[in-house]
Structure 1
Amino acid sequence: MSELPEYAERVLAVAELIPPGRVMTYGDVAEWLGEGGPRQVGRVMALYGGAVPWWRVVRADGVPLPGHERRALARYRAEGTPLREGDAPRIAVARARWDGDVTPHT
């Protein structure tokens, strides 16, 4: 098995930091890393994201990942992620967004 590209490792590490019930957009992850952009993060998640909480890295419009809507929505509901319900439920990104703060709160 070959090693992951360094950028992919960093993207996946950020995905693992996102707490249950919270999300970061592809652009948020790129900004947090200070490298790449939404498309690069999306590509990493598409190729390598299956082993991390992929449903917590989302499109900016809050629409669940095409082809994985049912699985993602089940995870969001189980974790209490804020949603906008309707004909096509989506994430309430403004309320669900995580700012990347990894400082322990004591």
Structure 2
Amino acid sequence: MIAIPLEAATGGSQSAAALVFVGRTIAFAIACWIAWRTYRGYERVRAPALLWLALGIALLAAVPTMVRFLIPTITDVTPLTTTLLATSSEIAGLLAILYAVYGRP
């Protein structure tokens, strides 16, 4: 069984921390599913825009969720570093989606 570091949560009860964990897990799963389905669409039709869209969705939703949970759990980096990494991934994801929609991939 995987231990959830609920004692590391600040500013709330353990039940609130558990709800946040469940919410982030659901958001991560949904983002991964959408990115996977988009990638599968790319494999069928070989439209580069779908590949950029899949990458953008992964960078926008799945990667920041993972970064915000894993980085503080397995390392002792500052919250600023974690926020910077997650925000950078979100910006890269938005740029990939913009390229998929408006660019000529």
Normalising by structure 2, what TM-score?
Answer: 0.30
Select the structure that is richer in helix. Answer: 2
Which protein, 1 or 2, shows the higher relative CO under an 8 Å CA cutoff with sep ≥ 6? 1
Select the structure that is richer in strand. Answer: 1
Normalising by structure 1, what TM-score?
Answer: 0.30
